[in-house]
Amino acid sequence: MMKKALQTQFLSAEGAAKLVRQIGLPQVMQGIAANIHQDFLHWRAFDKSARVAAHSQDGVIELMPIADDRTFSFKYVNGHPKNNMLHGLPTVMAFGVLADVATGMPLLISELTLTTAIRTAATSVVAARALARQNSRSMALIGNGAQSEFQALAFHHLLGIEEIHLYDTDVEATAKLMRNLQANPDARDLRVSAYASTREAVRGVDIITTVTADKTNAAVLTADMIEPGMHINGVGGDCPGKTEIPPEVLRKARVFVEFEPQTRIEGDLQHMPADFAVTELWQVLAGKLPGRTSDTQVTMFDSVGFALEDFSALRFLQSAATAQGLTQALDLIPRLTDPKNLYQLIQPHQSTNHPTRKSAATVLA
Amino acid sequence: MMKKALQTQFLSAEGAAKLVRQIGLPQVMQGIAANIHQDFLHWRAFDKSARVAAHSQDGVIELMPIADDRTFSFKYVNGHPKNNMLHGLPTVMAFGVLADVATGMPLLISELTLTTAIRTAATSVVAARALARQNSRSMALIGNGAQSEFQALAFHHLLGIEEIHLYDTDVEATAKLMRNLQANPDARDLRVSAYASTREAVRGVDIITTVTADKTNAAVLTADMIEPGMHINGVGGDCPGKTEIPPEVLRKARVFVEFEPQTRIEGDLQHMPADFAVTELWQVLAGKLPGRTSDTQVTMFDSVGFALEDFSALRFLQSAATAQGLTQALDLIPRLTDPKNLYQLIQPHQSTNHPTRKSAATVLA
């Protein structure tokens, strides 16, 4: 009998936050970015599909599965823009699972609400390393909600961005982002300024990151704001009817995507004709197709979030959280002395149903 | 602000087993069968899709989502026929999630390994009530593995089956099933006998249940075994390349299915031409189409397992396990004082990230 994991591990919301506090956000972002880069280089090894989405009046719930020949993963994630206002809940909540392809055993259930923000920013940096001008130093950050700190700090720590221009329709959100960045002892070299409009914020920057949340077809950027050589990191347009960047801007740029069939449906790309040319990022990373080819070219990463990035993030969490002793055993799958005898679990007068059970673990809640 | 659940609940493998031991297997099967019947009557209210399957050499991992306008659910489930032999693990392991459509909040994560066996048997009974002859009293049970006790007891307690004929290629499995049924004080009226072949086991019975597990195209039944008036409850053919019942048997029967697009791919139906007529069970339950129309007709329920049955089972578990105090709070989604300030979770020098956190719950593992 081969030795296989017989126990599902759990990484709680607090466990993941503790992991980040213990080893440092820059280190976590770098670790996840490295996994994303590595997994994108093995693109063809993955069984990929567009995510499964259940749309409703106020939002969407999605399942994002992916697998290679050893590991299966999926993420559960919602997007409900009115959650803050109506329910005091985050717009985006998520959790994920890693499982063993050989047995189907779920190996890890992990929070991914915090982690989604981190992996999205890490993906943005992996793309910008290949697509933004060398020596990019300034970035506009349009949309200052839950994900904005992670974008700012990823570009600062991992790409060398020194100056960030902020704009949000909600001035409270911008004030919160300013406070958080200024209080961060690791980001003392980062200069941050708030602007009165997107137009003013984006003027002269090397990179524009848009990360807005409304479930509408918005036009956060217009073509006249785009200067030669800019890289646009478009993060917030990520489902049908939810876009940020209008066709006139896409037409000015070379557009790069994660997984083309998904981005055609969900990205800012959804408003473009089916023959509008795009390049999958993995092909640039693998050296198969060029990324940016001149310093005056406009590049755009139409990022919608792809299952492989969560796979990469879950791999990182599994390894790092286990090393830090932050995972806990979860009694999700029954352990059976005879696997054909599932009935033993409920047999009357059976005193113990978990013969190999050793100890109780505490899950904080 | 509307009052919404802010905490995910967890029902462990041991919690679900305890629930069944406390309130009784017949009662749990009856409760789940009632939910399945009720949810099938609201068939059109559900957003249905065929499950998402990741096939590998040794098995398959599937996600089975479904939603109405209030509740989203999905099941994670694998099927790895060699798990017993190679790894000492069950062939089928599963867990599931109920979530709030209005907010995307995951409300319940529950074990479904035990529950899948129960809900499959409950579904078989819901179908047999509509399709088998009235006053059916005898059943052959071909395949005596992990699910067989649940099929036997569901048909005994919920449909009035008094006599069951057993056959399995593995005599140990049959012996285990015999022992389990004979030791059950609630099933003293049930007569159980082992047979030396499928042919002998099925002779003269009212219902044939097949629940075998090999990932092959097997022919457990042949046409000459089928007598007028029999109902065939075909449970084990449930993915491409995994069938039990050959075309010659299907051609003798009126065939009923759960969700036709899925069964055409996964069921014993996969070997039939696309125009081979089948009837969806919900239409029979809703009185829109006839079920059995004579006592000599052969009926077959080509059951592959549909997401709605897990939705129904999860609804039952949520209600019953909460009432019995068997669920536990799970720290899966972070709670934020300001939902736009996800960064607060990892802010250096922040002492508490969970301001409303009250107590620690113990998850047995």
Cα–Cα distance measured from residue A337 to residue A345, given in angstroms and rounded to the nearest whole number: 10
The average pLDDT across A329-354 equals 80
Place of tokens 């109780």: A360
A305, A323, A358 - which closes a domain: A305
- Residues in chain A within 8 Å Cβ distance of B334: 13-14, 17, 90, 111, 113-114
Judge: A89–B103 Cβ closer than 8 Å, yes or no.
yes
A165 with A269, same domain? yes
Please report the residues numbered 321 through 340 in chain A whose beta carbons come closer than 8 angstroms to any beta carbon of chain B.
Answer: 328-336, 338-340
Q: DSSP string covering B217-244, please?
A: B--SS-GGGPPTT-EEEE-S--BTTBB-
A154 with A212, same domain? yes
What's the structural domain count of chain B?
2
A282 with A181, same domain? yes
So what's the pLDDT on residue B339?
Answer: 85
A224 with A241, same domain? yes
Cβ atoms < 10 Å from Cβ of A287:
9
Cα–Cα distance measured from residue B76 to residue B93, given in angstroms and rounded to the nearest whole number: 8
Cα–Cα distance measured from residue A61 to residue B309, given in angstroms and rounded to the nearest whole number: 20
**For residues B10 and B112, is the Cβ–Cβ distance under 8 A?**
no
Q: Is the pLDDT of residue A199 over 70?
A: yes
**For residues B28 and B122, is the Cβ–Cβ distance under 8 A?**
no
Query: Residue B245: inside a domain, yes or no?
Result: yes
Instruction: Please report which residue ranges of B168-274 form alpha helices under DSSP H.
Output: 171-182, 198-202, 247-250, 260-266
Domain with A164 in it: 135-305
Grouping H, G, I as helix, E, B as strand and the rest as coil, residue A79 is strand
The average pLDDT across A306-317 equals 97
So what's the pLDDT on residue A350?
Answer: 45
> How close is the nearest chain B Cα to the Cα of A224, in Å?
30
CB neighbour class for B259 (10 Å; exposed up to 12, middle 13-18, buried from 19): buried
ipTM of the complex: 0.90
CATH of the domain at A170: 3.40.50.720
Instruction: Give φ, ψ of B300 to 5 degrees.
Output: -140, 130
One digit per residue, pLDDT tens: chain B, 365 residues?
445 567 999 999 999 999 999 999 999 999 999 999 999 999 999 998 778 889 999 899 999 999 999 999 999 999 998 998 899 899 899 999 999 999 999 999 999 999 999 999 999 999 999 999 999 999 999 999 999 999 999 999 999 999 999 999 999 999 999 999 999 988 999 999 999 999 999 999 999 999 987 667 678 999 999 999 999 999 987 777 778 899 999 999 999 999 999 999 989 999 999 999 999 999 999 999 999 999 999 999 999 999 999 999 999 999 999 999 999 999 999 989 888 899 999 986 544 444 333 333 434 33
Residue of B nearest to A66 (CA): B54
Average pLDDT value for chain A: 91
Active-site position among B39, B206, B238, B268: B238
Q: b/e string for A146-155 if b means 16 or more Cβ within 10 A?
A: bbbbbbbbbb
- Residues in chain B within 8 Å Cβ distance of A6: 88-89
- Residues in chain A within 8 Å Cβ distance of B364: 331, 357, 360-361
Query: Residue B353: inside a domain, yes or no?
Result: no
Chain B interface, mutation test: which of A332, A344, A350, most B Cβ atoms within 10 Å?
A332
Distances (CA, A) of B295 to A158, B135, B206, B229, B299: 74, 11, 10, 5, 10
Residue B331 has which token pair?
Answer: 């720290």
> How close is the nearest chain B Cα to the Cα of A175, in Å?
11
State the distance between the two ends of chain B, measured CA to CA, in whole angstroms.
37
Which residue pairs, CB below 8 angstroms and at least 24 apart, start in B3-7? B4/A87, B4/A89, B4/B100, B4/B102, B4/B103, B4/B105, B5/B100, B5/B105, B5/B107, B6/A88, B6/A89, B6/B105, B6/B335, B6/B356, B7/A365, B7/B329, B7/B330
So what's the pLDDT on residue A339?
Answer: 85
Helix %, strand %, coil % of chain B (to 5):
35, 25, 40
Residue of A nearest to B344 (CA): A180
- Residues in chain A within 8 Å Cβ distance of B109: 109, 332
- Residues in chain B within 8 Å Cβ distance of A336: 90
Query: Residue A121: inside a domain, yes or no?
Result: no
pLDDT band at A349 (very low <50, low <70, confident <90, very high): low
Cα–Cα distance measured from residue A205 to residue A220, given in angstroms and rounded to the nearest whole number: 16
Strand order from edge to edge, sheet including B328-330 = B52-55, B60-67, B71-79, B94-100, B106-111, B8-11, B328-330
Please report the residues numbered 82 through 101 in chain A whose beta carbons come closer than 8 angstroms to any beta carbon of chain B.
Answer: 83-84, 86-91, 93, 95, 97, 99, 101
A43 with A147, same domain? no
Instruction: Please report which residue ranges of chain B form alpha helices under DSSP H.
Output: 13-23, 25-41, 83-87, 113-131, 148-159, 171-182, 198-202, 247-250, 260-266, 281-285, 307-323
Judge: B114–A332 Cβ closer than 8 Å, yes or no.
no
B97 with B233, same domain? no
Name the CA radius of gyration of chain A, rounded: 22
CATH of the domain at A325: 3.30.1780.10
So what's the pLDDT on residue A84?
Answer: 87
Judge: B363–A328 Cβ closer than 8 Å, yes or no.
yes
B254 with B220, same domain? yes
Query: Residue A163: inside a domain, yes or no?
Result: yes
Which residue pairs, CB below 8 angstroms and at least 24 apart, start in A157-160? A157/A25, A157/A26, A157/A29, A157/A30, A157/A186, A157/A187, A158/A26, A158/A29, A158/A30, A158/A33, A158/A122, A158/A125, A158/A129, A159/A125, A159/A128, A159/A129, A159/A132, A160/A135, A160/A136
> How close is the nearest chain A Cα to the Cα of B98, in Å?
11
pLDDT digits (tens, 9 = 90+) for A140-162: 999 999 999 999 999 999 999 99
Q: Is the pLDDT of residue A354 over 90?
A: no
A18 with A81, same domain? yes
Query: Residue B317: inside a domain, yes or no?
Result: yes
Residue of A nearest to B105 (CA): A93
Strand partners, A94: A77
Cα–Cα distance measured from residue B323 to residue B11, given in angstroms and rounded to the nearest whole number: 12
Residue of A nearest to B330 (CA): A365
So what's the pLDDT on residue B3?
Answer: 52
B305, B333, B359 - which closes a domain: B305
Please report the residues numbered 344 through 363 in chain B whose beta carbons come closer than 8 angstroms to any beta carbon of chain A.
Answer: 344-348, 353-354, 357, 359-363
B285 with B142, same domain? yes
Q: How many helices (H) and strands (E) does chain B have?
A: 11, 16
So what's the pLDDT on residue A311?
Answer: 98
Contacts of A250 (CB under 8 A, 6+ apart): A268, A269, A271, A272, A276, A300, A302
Residue of B nearest to A5 (CA): B87
Grouping H, G, I as helix, E, B as strand and the rest as coil, residue A200 is helix
Query: Residue A280: inside a domain, yes or no?
Result: yes
Q: Is the pLDDT of residue A291 over 60?
A: yes
pLDDT digits (tens, 9 = 90+) for A235-281: 987 777 778 899 999 999 999 999 999 999 989 999 999 999 999 99
**pLDDT above 90 coverage of chain A, percent:** 81
Is A168 among the catalytic positions? no
A/B interface, count of CB pairs below 8 Å: 313
So what's the pLDDT on residue A360?
Answer: 38
A75 with A43, same domain? yes
> How close is the nearest chain A Cα to the Cα of B326, in Å?
13
So what's the pLDDT on residue B337?
Answer: 87
Query: Residue B120: inside a domain, yes or no?
Result: no
Query: Residue A123: inside a domain, yes or no?
Result: no
B148 with B234, same domain? yes
pLDDT digits (tens, 9 = 90+) for A37-72: 999 999 999 998 778 889 999 899 999 999 999 999
So what's the pLDDT on residue B357?
Answer: 37
Judge: B13–A176 Cβ closer than 8 Å, yes or no.
no
Active-site position among A39, A238, A268, A302: A238
**For residues B63 and A74, is the Cβ–Cβ distance under 8 A?**
yes
B330 with B251, same domain? no
So what's the pLDDT on residue A151?
Answer: 98
Q: Which amino acid is at B271?
A: H
Grouping H, G, I as helix, E, B as strand and the rest as coil, residue B263 is helix
Q: Which of A95, A99, A331 sits opposite B364 (nearest CB)?
A: A331
B63 at A interface, C-beta within 8 A: yes
State the distance between the two ends of chain A, measured CA to CA, in whole angstroms.
37
